[in-house]
């Protein structure tokens, strides 16, 4: 495979596109309109600088700028799909939205194109029928800051062709990921099956009035030696994503979703990506 399309240029979609281009693939990055593409271009410039700052191998030797040169931006979905060998979907966590996109892709993409969803919460089987090619569809899930947290969780459905699965494992390796092969469908994959209950516990401590985010995070960092607590992780993941997941949960999670919307999202505070969430960025050391 050489031509890769990434649908969605938010926090993780932009990282997937940039990481793929950084490793020599030609990438088409799709989003819904020109303002979204303008934000994507800014994200790619920021990622180029971040790779250099973090000491990613070859980034400071022109690799970061070369990656930007391999990315083409478009708001035309049919154009984005036209010559893609692999399409990685990273649009917001909304079942109807994703299904609609896959129905469009089913007609627009070549019959040989592999479709992969980066969905954090939806099982690939919930989307497979809408792709029109369930045998060439699976989940390919990345962690945030993929250049350093370089896992790629790969999860098929009962209909996924094993040869397609193997191709995606190979692709993940080619872009510097450690492929995590999941034997059968599991909501949350491996990483989120471990992470989400932890984040939800932090959210419940907040909405129950037990402690403030700073105290909860400090307790976790100091007590375990971990680099970040739950609210620092929420800011990294993005509060829109946290909201979309929390509003589908139980009573306390829905209360947390309301808090996120009213106190943060409606005020443009989406986390690290916007410079402010539970914390203000850049943070003082």
pLDDT-based confidence at residue 242 (cuts at 50, 70, 90)? very high
Average pLDDT over residues 10-16: 96
Shared domain for 252 and 164, answered yes or no, is no
The tens digit of pLDDT for each residue in 122-165 reads 999 999 999 999 999 999 999 989 999 999 999 999 999 999 99
Average pLDDT estimate for 224-230: 97
**Where a domain ends, among 182, 211, 233?**
182
Q: What CATH number corresponds to the domain at position 240?
A: 1.10.1040.10
Q: Which of 121, 156, 182 is the last residue of a domain?
A: 182
- Prediction pTM value: 0.82
3-state secondary structure of 120: coil
Q: If we measure between CA atoms, which residue out of 22, 10, 20, 27 comes closest to residue 49?
A: 22
Predicted local distance difference test score (pLDDT) of residue 192:
87
User: Exposed (0-12), middle (13-18) or buried (19+): which is 61, by Cβ within 10 Å?
Assistant: exposed
Residue 165, in any domain of the structure: yes
Same domain, 132 and 166: yes
| Percent of the residues in the chain that have a pLDDT greater than 70, as a whole number | 100
CA distances from 207 to 172, 231, 255, 258 (A): 39, 13, 7, 10
Who contacts 139 (Cβ-Cβ below 8 Å, separation ≥6)? 116, 117, 118, 119, 123, 124, 153, 154, 155, 156, 189
Domain extent for 230: 195-274
Are the C-beta atoms of 67 and 21 separated by less than 8 Å? yes
Together in a domain, 21 and 62: yes
- Which residues, including other chains, have CB under 8 Å from residue 42's CB and lie 6 or more apart? none
Rg (CA), the chain: 19
- Considering the domain architecture, whether residues 95 and 35 belong to the same structural domain is answered as yes
Using DSSP, state whether 27 is helix, strand or coil.
strand
Q: Residue 285: which pLDDT band, with cuts at 50, 70 and 90?
A: low
Task: Give the count of domains, the chain.
Answer: 2
Which residues touch 241 (CB under 8 Å, ≥6 apart)? Answer: 11, 92, 93, 120
Q: Sorting pLDDT into bands at 50, 70 and 90, what band is 227?
A: very high
pLDDT at 283: 87
Q: Which of the 8 DSSP states describes residue 4?
A: E
Residue 187 belongs to some domain of the structure: no
The average confidence (pLDDT) of the chain is: 96
* pLDDT at 188 (0 to 100): 87
Q: How far is CA 242 from the centre of its chain?
A: 12
Please indicate, yes or no, if residue 104 is contained in any of the structural domains: yes
Q: For residue 189, tell me if it sits in a domain.
A: no
For range 32-51, the mean pLDDT: 97
User: Does residue 253 have a pLDDT over 70?
Assistant: yes
| Structural element, H or E, at residue 63 | helix 63-69
pLDDT in tens, 82-135: 999 999 999 998 999 999 999 999 999 999 999 999 998 899 999 999 999 999
> What is the percent of the chain where pLDDT is above 90?
92
Question: Which bin fits 214, alpha (ψ -120 to 50), beta or left (φ > 0)?
Answer: alpha
């Amino acid at each position: 495979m050489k031509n890769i399309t990434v649908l969605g240029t938010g926090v993780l979609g932009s990282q997937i596109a940039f990481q793929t281009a950084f490793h020599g693939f030609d990438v088409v990055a799709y989003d819904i309109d020109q303002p979204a593409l303008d934000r994507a271009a800014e994200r790619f410039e920021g990622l180029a600088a971040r790779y250099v700052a973090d000491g990613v191998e070859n980034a400071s030797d022109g690799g970061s700028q070369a990656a930007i040169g391999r990315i083409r931006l478009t708001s035309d979905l049919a154009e984005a799909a036209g010559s893609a060998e692999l399409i990685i979907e990273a649009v917001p966590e909304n079942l109807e939205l994703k299904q609609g996109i896959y129905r469009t892709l089913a007609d627009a993409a070549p019959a040989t194109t592999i479709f992969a969803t980066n969905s954090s919460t939806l099982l690939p089987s919930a989307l497979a029928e809408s792709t029109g090619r369930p045998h060439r569809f699976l989940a390919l899930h990345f962690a945030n800051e993929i250049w350093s947290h370089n896992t790629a969780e790969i999860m098929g459905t009962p209909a996924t062709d094993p040869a397609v699965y193997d191709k995606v494992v190979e692709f993940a390796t080619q872009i510097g990921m450690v492929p995590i092969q999941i034997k059968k469908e599991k909501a949350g994959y491996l990483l989120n099956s471990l992470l989400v209950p932890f984040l939800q516990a932090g959210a419940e401590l907040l909405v129950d009035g037990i402690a403030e985010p700073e105290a909860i995070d400090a307790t976790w960092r100091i007590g375990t030696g971990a680099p970040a607590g739950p609210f620092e992780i929420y800011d990294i993941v993005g509060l829109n994503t946290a909201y979309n997941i929390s509003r589908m949960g139980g009573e306390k999670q829905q209360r947390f979703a309301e808090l996120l919307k009213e106190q943060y999202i409606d005020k443009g505070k989406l986390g690290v990506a916007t410079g402010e969430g539970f914390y203000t960025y850049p943070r003082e050391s």
